[in-house]
């Protein structure tokens, strides 16, 4: 587990883009050690590779968008989540359009692609980002935070004024197995009134019951219903795993969030990197319980942590 991984073979899929409605063809390919995840727009400059990193985030409205030099790829969070959840450190993603295909609205198709392509160990050690002190950000009643932990953990709580959602909480110790079994098949979701509003303005043009859980004022309108009773909060965790992979390395820390999203997730990563005393890097997973972790929590951190676990 301490060594980097890439894909053994390349694989291609095709689906519509959630926001453009365009048919997108995507190919995933192996990449060399230390290259990380790279994006290529085949419909633009095939030789221009966009490094997936926090500094290259150009937008967090409705999805996470990565770009440089005027070229961007949006809706990257699901495939990044799949790569992170399945331990893929280095890969090239080629698309012939402006976004990643939405597939069924979850990360399951991408996990299946990774398994079909196969993975292989590389010669370089994997570097981990180790959270050493609490960091938190908030916006209105929403917040996100990191606290030290000897593993990658996520505690997420959502609250929607809808009878099919209400309040949902979930805690996950992230591993290849837990990600595949508990998280990856959770679909994106939206409200019918919002989808209609967005589509009238040229957005969410690819959204349908085939790639999202849609709710009207009182119920879920997908005939097949949910894949799990807590699919909503699990999809938020799926998104968060994709967004947190923008660190460029696996995280050793506990991510705690209440009503967070792409924007707040990105804000938390920026705050973490700005507070250099709050993290370090290591190349081994047998890190001891970090630095009297929870004893170092400040009052706002305690309040947030207790609220999410309530």
Q: What is the pLDDT of residue 200?
A: 87
At 294, the pLDDT band (50, 70, 90 cuts) reads very low
Q: Which residue in 19, 235, 254, 262 is the catalytic one?
A: 262
What pTM does this model have?
A: 0.92
At 309, the pLDDT band (50, 70, 90 cuts) reads low
> Could you tell me the fold of the domain covering 128-187+227-309?
lpxc deacetylase, domain 1 (3.30.1700)
Q: What is the pLDDT of residue 301?
A: 57
Domain locations in the chain as residue ranges: 3-125, 128-187+227-309
pLDDT digits (tens, 9 = 90+) for 72-98: 999 999 999 999 999 999 999 999 999
Lowest mean pLDDT among 45-59, 169-183, 230-244: 45-59
3-state secondary structure the chain: CCEEEEECCCEEEEEEECCCCCEEEEEEEECCCCCCEEEEECCCCCCCEEECCHHHEEECCCCCEEEECCEEEECCHHHHHHHHHCCCCEEEEEECCCECECCCCCCHHHHHHHHHHCEEEEEEECCEEEECCCEEEEECCEEEEEECCCCEEEEEEEEECCCCCEEEEEEEECCHHHHHHHHCCCCCEEEHHHHHHHHHCCCCCCCCCCCCEEECCCCECCCCCCCCCCHHHHHHHHHHHHHHHHHCCCEEEEEEEECCCHHHHHHHHHHHHHCHHHEEEECCCCCCCHHHHHHHCCHHHHHHHHHHHC
pLDDT at 160 > cutoff 80: yes
| Mean pLDDT of the residues in the chain | 92
Q: What is the pLDDT of residue 111?
A: 98
Identical fold at 3-125 and 128-187+227-309?
no
Read off the pLDDT of each residue in 295-305 and give the average, rounded to a whole number.
54
Q: Which CATH class is domain 3-125?
A: alpha beta
pLDDT at 121 > cutoff 90: yes
Told to judge if 262 belongs to the known catalytic residues of this protein, a careful annotator would answer yes
């Amino acid at each position: 587990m301490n060594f980097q991984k890439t894909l053994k073979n390349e694989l291609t899929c095709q689906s519509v883009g959630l926001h453009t409605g365009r048919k997108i063809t995507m190919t995933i390919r192996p990449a060399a050690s230390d290259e990380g995840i790279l994006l290529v727009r085949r419909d633009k400059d095939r030789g221009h590779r966009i490094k997936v990193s926090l500094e290259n985030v150009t937008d967090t409205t409705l999805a996470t968008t990565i770009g440089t030099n005027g070229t961007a790829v949006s809706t990257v969070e699901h495939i990044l989540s799949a790569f992170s959840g399945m331990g893929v450190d280095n890969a090239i993603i080629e698309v012939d359009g402006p976004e990643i295909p939405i597939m069924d609205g979850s990360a399951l198709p991408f996990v299946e692609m990774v398994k079909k392509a196969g993975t292989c160990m590389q010669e370089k050690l994997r570097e981990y980002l180790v959270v050493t002190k609490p960091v938190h950000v908030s916006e209105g009643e929403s917040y996100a935070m990191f606290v030290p932990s000897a593993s990658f953990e996520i505690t997420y709580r959502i609250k929607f004024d809808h009878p099919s959602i209400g309040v949902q909480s979930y805690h996950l110790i992230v591993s290849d197995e837990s990600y595949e079994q508990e998280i990856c098949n959770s679909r994106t979701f939206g409200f019918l009134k919002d989808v209609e509003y967005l589509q009238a303005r040229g957005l969410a043009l690819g959204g349908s019951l085939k790639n999202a859980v849609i709710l009207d004022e009182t119920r879920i309108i997908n005939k097949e219903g949910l894949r799990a009773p807590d699919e909503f909060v699990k999809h938020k965790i799926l998104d968060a795993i994709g967004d947190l992979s923008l660190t460029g390395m696996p995280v050793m820390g506990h991510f705690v969030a209440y009503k967070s999203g792409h924007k707040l997730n990105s804000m938390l990563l920026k705050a973490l990197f700005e507070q250099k005393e709050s993290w370090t890097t290591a190349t081994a997973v047998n890190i001891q319980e970090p630095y009297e972790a929870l004893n170092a929590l400040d009052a706002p951190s305690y309040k947030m942590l207790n609220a999410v676990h309530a």
